[in-house]
């Protein structure tokens, strides 16, 4: 665990985002309505092309879903073409507020308990560093709430970028969690899986009510 945090500190990243905002801007969906805690949304690409391979093959539309990559469980977060993927929900560090705001620590989870890995929750978390691929991937099996060093890899944020949003790994839920920030992007592996991973190129998204 300590080695994982040391590697995370070494990532080339940007400064902390929105650390001093008293009331960050509210995130809105594709219809302009505020994202609400307890509702489900599809995370869809805002850019016309996404997940391009080294051969220049790109996907024009799609959404986020689950796939078994490598070990059968837990399931990893992937971008899939041809559908809106699976619906997701958001739980801010203070869920009583009822709305989702930018620059605010939150948990992200697929709105389903029916997966092939029933023993793992559908809550996102940052996986262990993949040395072979030199990547941090987003997987499932995290937990909701309970900010602590044991849950530090479960926390993400939504940030505004251009006319869309991006998701970042940038936990500030603990006073001493001086983590650097990194965007989430799409990494295309050798088998063509478009996996959600820490990246220098953000995956620009919008939120569509499910």
For residue 18, is it within any domain? no
The residue segments making up the domain with residue 87 are: 2-9+36-209
For residue 25, is it within any domain? no
Each residue of 27-65: pLDDT tens digit? 999 999 999 999 999 999 997 666 566 666 666 678 999
For residue 141, is it within any domain? yes
User: Rounded mean pLDDT of 169-198?
Assistant: 88
For residue 199, is it within any domain? yes
For residue 94, is it within any domain? yes
- The CATH number for 106's domain is 2.80.10.50
For residue 177, is it within any domain? yes
For residue 152, is it within any domain? yes
Q: How many domains does the chain have?
A: 1
Each residue of 117-133: pLDDT tens digit? 888 999 999 999 999 99
Average pLDDT of the residues of the chain: 85
Query: What is this structure's pTM?
Result: 0.84
| pLDDT score at 186 | 93
For residue 197, is it within any domain? yes
Distance CA 88, CA 206 (A): 12
């Amino acid at each position: 665990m300590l080695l994982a945090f040391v590697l995370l500190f070494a990532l080339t990243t940007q400064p902390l985002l929105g650390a001093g905002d008293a009331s960050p801007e509210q995130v809105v969906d594709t219809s302009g309505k505020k994202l609400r805690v307890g509702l489900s949304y599809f995370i869809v690409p805002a850019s016309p092309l996404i997940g391009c391979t080294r051969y220049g093959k790109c996907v024009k539309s799609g959404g986020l879903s689950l796939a078994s990559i490598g070990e059968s469980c837990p399931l990893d977060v992937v971008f899939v073409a041809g559908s809106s993927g699976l619906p997701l929900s958001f739980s801010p560090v203070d869920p009583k507020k009822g709305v989702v705001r930018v620059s605010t620590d939150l948990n992200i989870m697929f709105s389903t308990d029916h997966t092939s890995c029933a023993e793992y929750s559908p809550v996102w978390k940052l996986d262990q560093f993949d040395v072979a691929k030199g990547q941090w991937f987003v997987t499932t099996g995290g937990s909701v709430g309970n900010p602590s060093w044991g849950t530090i890899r479960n926390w993400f944020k939504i940030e505004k970028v251009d006319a869309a949003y991006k998701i970042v790994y940038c936990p500030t839920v603990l006073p001493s969690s001086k983590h650097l920030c990194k965007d989430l992007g799409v990494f295309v592996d050798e088998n063509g899986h478009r996996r959600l991973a820490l990246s220098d190129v953000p995956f620009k998204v919008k939120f569509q009510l499910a």
